[in-house]
Amino acid sequence: MTALSRKPTVLAEHHVASADRPGRRSFMKLLIAMLLAASFMLATVPLNATTYYVAKSGNDSSNCTSASAPCLTIGRGVSVATTPGSIVQVGAGTYTESITMSNAGTASALITVRGQDGSGCPTTAISDVNSPTGTRPNSSVIIVGSFQVNASYVAVDCFHLESNGNGGIGSNSGLIGNSYTNIEVDGNGCTSCGGGFYIAGVGSVSSSGYSSNFTISRNYVHGVSNGFYGACSNCTFSDNEFYALQGDEPGSDHDYVDSWGVGTIYRHNYMHGNTSNSCDGYDCHMDCIQTWNTTGDGTEVSKNVIVDRNVCFNHHEGVIVQDNAGNGDVSNWTVTNNVFAYPPWDDGSGHPSVAGSVQPWCWVFEDGKLGANVFYNNTCIDGAEGFRNNSGSASFKDNLFYSAGTDTSVYDTSSATVTGANNLYYAVSANFGGAQFTGDITNKNPNFISLGTSTTQCIGCNFNIQSTSAAKDAGVSTSPTVINDLLGTPRPQGAAYDIGAYEYAGTAKPGTPLNLGGTAH
């Protein structure tokens, strides 16, 4: 209102006065910000990004740019999608082919190949309290063959691979001397496809050449030799389910995860379902997560790894970390909020469990220079020995051990510096041996919701604690390393941290597990 009564001024003076007004200054700043944002979007979003279509009714002589004139094969679709931001949309059906994807996107515009219309992968609900998402991928796009990614800034979503014997989805970095970055693999299934996810480089390239920044989330891998094998730095594996490994020879290693890389995270995955017949009766050492360093030349490196909020059943060892060469290339792991339980379940085949009658271990850290390792708020059920550490140092707090009477001791810590506090040990018919720490609790019942047995798959097992648990409010703070429990419940809920992987959250049924998967494209 005041501006309307001002005396006329010359144009230049008027511009200065107007620009100095607070309201006009705010408007000009907003306008400039909008123009900058628009120019940024125009600079980063490819103007010629295209959606390509693949269908069983298609023809590979087509340019694939119309849903009414699609390609016939996925291989053709990914070969013509050369522009960052492009999408290859694959229609329902079975495609018998092995695919190699070689065209790269950019940091702001991935090239995406997906087996569904629109965003989000199709799923089916499952009844298993330990599932990280309560669902499994249920794609109607089936690939009988492998899917090889030889490019960076790529997303592969919503397929089901099966029965090819050549592996599932892989990145060939080490085999061809390159390393790839920023690959997303989300919502895929893999059944009896040889191996699950494979990223090359182990033993063939230095750790600086490992692939990096992958996001592997919400996938289901069933009946394979390994859920994941490979080298990947600063990668995240979350909300995946690895079920029922299958081996074929005595003494071979068939693990849920064999891992190398620096700064990689395994969070909220579910590994289970190995049977006493999984390796045709042989001891094939089915571990939850394993790494080793036999070369000592910088090609088998596994450092600063986080293993958090996972559930692993039917295993030999839970986490086994070995610096065999002794040069420190394997070191500094953080293991928190996990459940490890039971050897392979008895499927009635008459074959012995893994390693005969030997029960599983929970954590084995041995040899070399293992650095400083952390073990907080884990739950271990029926481990032959809960924790073995003969190198480096470890901090060991708020862990819960439950024995049905077959265990020998909690700790084997020769030649290592181990500090700890407030762990709980409960043995049904035997006492634990080994050292103990300040605040440790012995033979007080943790009162799980559902213990299950080692003779079943343990689908109904629920190692959350009840209000009467001796683990409730009996721990020490493990913040900032641990601030939530396995389900994502903030710690503490009561007067103190609870011991073990779960924080008691009251009488109400726990909510749906927190989904940590990546973005669906």
Contact 109, 84 (CB under 8 A): yes
Q: Are residues 158 and 281 in the same domain?
A: yes
The mean pLDDT value for 224-228 works out to 78
Q: Is 507 within the bounds of a domain?
A: no
Print the domain residue range for 221: 112-465
Clarify whether residues 256 and 378 are in a common domain. yes
The residue among 105 and 453 whose pLDDT is bigger is 105
Q: Are residues 28 and 140 in the same domain?
A: no
Per this entry, what is the length of the chain? 521
pLDDT, tens digit (0-9, with 9 covering 90-100), for 366-388: 777 888 889 999 998 876 567 77
Report how far Cα 196 is from the mean position of its chain's Cα atoms: 13
Record the pTM.
0.85
Helix, strand, coil percentages, rounded to 5, for the chain: 10, 35, 55
513: in domain: no
Tens of pLDDT, residues 389-409: 777 788 999 999 887 655 556
CATH number at residue 429: 2.160.20
Read off the tokens for 467: 């209000």
Out of 23-32, 214-223, 445-454, the most confident range is 214-223
- Positive/negative CA dihedral, 331, 288, 443, 434: negative
Residues 334 and 191 in one domain: yes
Confirm if 363 and 387 have CB atoms less than 8 A apart: yes
Is 76 a member of any domain? no
- State how far the Cα of 255 lies from the Cα of 401, in Å rounded to an integer: 23
70: exposed, middle or buried (C-beta count within 10 Å: 0-12, 13-18, 19+)? buried
Q: Is 512 within a domain?
A: no
What band does 94 get if pLDDT is binned at 50, 70 and 90? very high
Q: What is the mean pLDDT of the chain?
A: 80
- Number of domains into which the chain is organized: 2
Q: What is the mean pLDDT of residues 291-315?
A: 92
Same domain, 354 and 247: yes
| 317-345 pLDDT, tens digit each | 888 888 888 898 999 999 999 999 876 66
- Domain presence at residue 472: no
pLDDT at 404: 60
Whether 186 contacts 214, CB under 8 Å: no
Q: 164 with 302, same domain?
A: yes
What's the rounded Cα separation, in Å, for the pair 97 and 139? 17
Q: Does 113 score more than 80 pLDDT?
A: yes
Average pLDDT over residues 251-262: 81
Query: Are the beta carbons of 404 and 384 closer than 8 angstroms?
Result: no
Same domain, 36 and 143: no
CB atoms within 10 A of CB 287: 25
* Distance from C-alpha of 293 to C-alpha of 290, rounded to nearest angstrom: 11
> Does residue 480 belong to any structural domain of this protein?
no
Domain final residue, candidates 435, 465, 495: 465
Per DSSP, the residues of 332-379 read --EEES-EEE-SSB--SS-PPBTTBTPPPEEEEEESS---EEEEES-E
Q: What is the pLDDT of residue 356?
A: 43
